[in-house]
Amino acid sequence: MKGVIIAAGFGSRLWKTTKQIPKTLLPYKKGTILSTIIQQLQMAGISELIIVVGFKKDYIANYLQNDPPTLPVTLVENLEWERGNALSVYKAKDYINNEPFLLSMSDHLVKMEALKKIVEVPERINLLLTDPFISENFDVDDATKVLTEDDYIIAIGKELDNYNALDCGIFRLEPDFFTAVEKSVQKGNESISNAITELISLKRIKVVMLNKANQWMDIDTPEAYNFAHNFVI
């Protein structure tokens, strides 16, 4: 299965910490956030990667050239990286050959056990890895919330008041996700959550729930980055 990492954004809340480099290149453990994500995806069964770049794209290109991963990587540029993140995913459309693919954010650390759980689901439907252990999350206020019913997503968004899980930033997507992006963008909505909302009414998006806590972490702020160094990956 191919994987897509979207690494085109600005990362404004980590701007001082990153010193004007893409935040996915911040040092982490024995490498960087990006190298850790790539390693975890590869161990979970991902055989090829498409990385969508935008802001400071040459930094990522040079990093991968100097320290190349052991699986094939294709860089795809999103010139509209200041717009919604669904557009970055859409840039990968021509590279996945109408097959299911795993989507990862470039600042979410997820343990291999959790990644394999979503990779290995046999059903051909769009999937989101979700965390029901809400109270144990480092930054619930910043997390994207999800309301589920019978394994289907029925609502998603950062501002949900009624929710029973958190979005871990890992999706396994089918080709019809791109149609959902097109419909969402036509309405002026450009986020991944907006595209997922298009799939909800079609009952084309289910969840894969984590079976234990502390299986993932979102590095969105300096505080989260500092805390992440204690995260066992």
66-76 pLDDT, tens digit per residue, is 999 999 999 99
pLDDT greater than 90 at residue 206? yes
Q: Evaluate whether residue 88 is within a structural domain.
A: yes
pLDDT greater than 70 at residue 215? yes
Q: What is the mean pLDDT of residues 37-60?
A: 97
Q: Evaluate whether residue 233 is within a structural domain.
A: no
Write down the mean pLDDT value for the chain.
95
The whole-number pLDDT of residue 20 equals: 80
The whole-number pLDDT of residue 16 equals: 61
Angle at CA 128, nearest 5°, toward 122 and 134? 130
What is the identity of the amino acid at 214? N
d(CA 130, CA 114): 10
d(CA 120, CA 103): 14
Q: Evaluate whether residue 223 is within a structural domain.
A: yes
| Contacts of 36 by beta carbon, 8 Å cutoff, 6+ apart | 28, 29, 109, 233
The whole-number pLDDT of residue 13 equals: 64
Q: Evaluate whether residue 59 is within a structural domain.
A: yes
Q: What is the mean pLDDT of residues 123-141?
A: 96
Which pTM was predicted?
Answer: 0.96
Pull the structure tokens for residue 21.
């480099």
Q: Evaluate whether residue 46 is within a structural domain.
A: yes
pLDDT greater than 60 at residue 15? no
Return the residue matching tokens 């799939």: 199
List the CATH number of the domain containing 141: 3.90.550.10
Q: Evaluate whether residue 81 is within a structural domain.
A: yes
d(CA 51, CA 69): 12
Where in the sequence is the domain holding 95, given as residue range(s)?
2-228
Listed range (8-17, 33-42, 112-121, 131-140) with the worst mean pLDDT: 8-17
Q: Evaluate whether residue 40 is within a structural domain.
A: yes
What is the identity of the amino acid at 120? E
pLDDT band with cut points at 50, 70 and 90 for residue 113: very high
Q: What is the mean pLDDT of residues 38-48?
A: 98
Number of domains in the chain: 1
Q: Considering only CA atoms, which of 34, 110, 25 is closest in space to residue 69?
A: 34
Q: Considering only CA atoms, which of 164, 21, 2, 156 is closest in space to residue 86?
A: 156
d(CA 118, CA 109): 15
pLDDT greater than 80 at residue 47? yes
Q: What is the pLDDT of residues 137-162, one digit of tens each?
A: 999 999 999 999 999 999 999 999 99
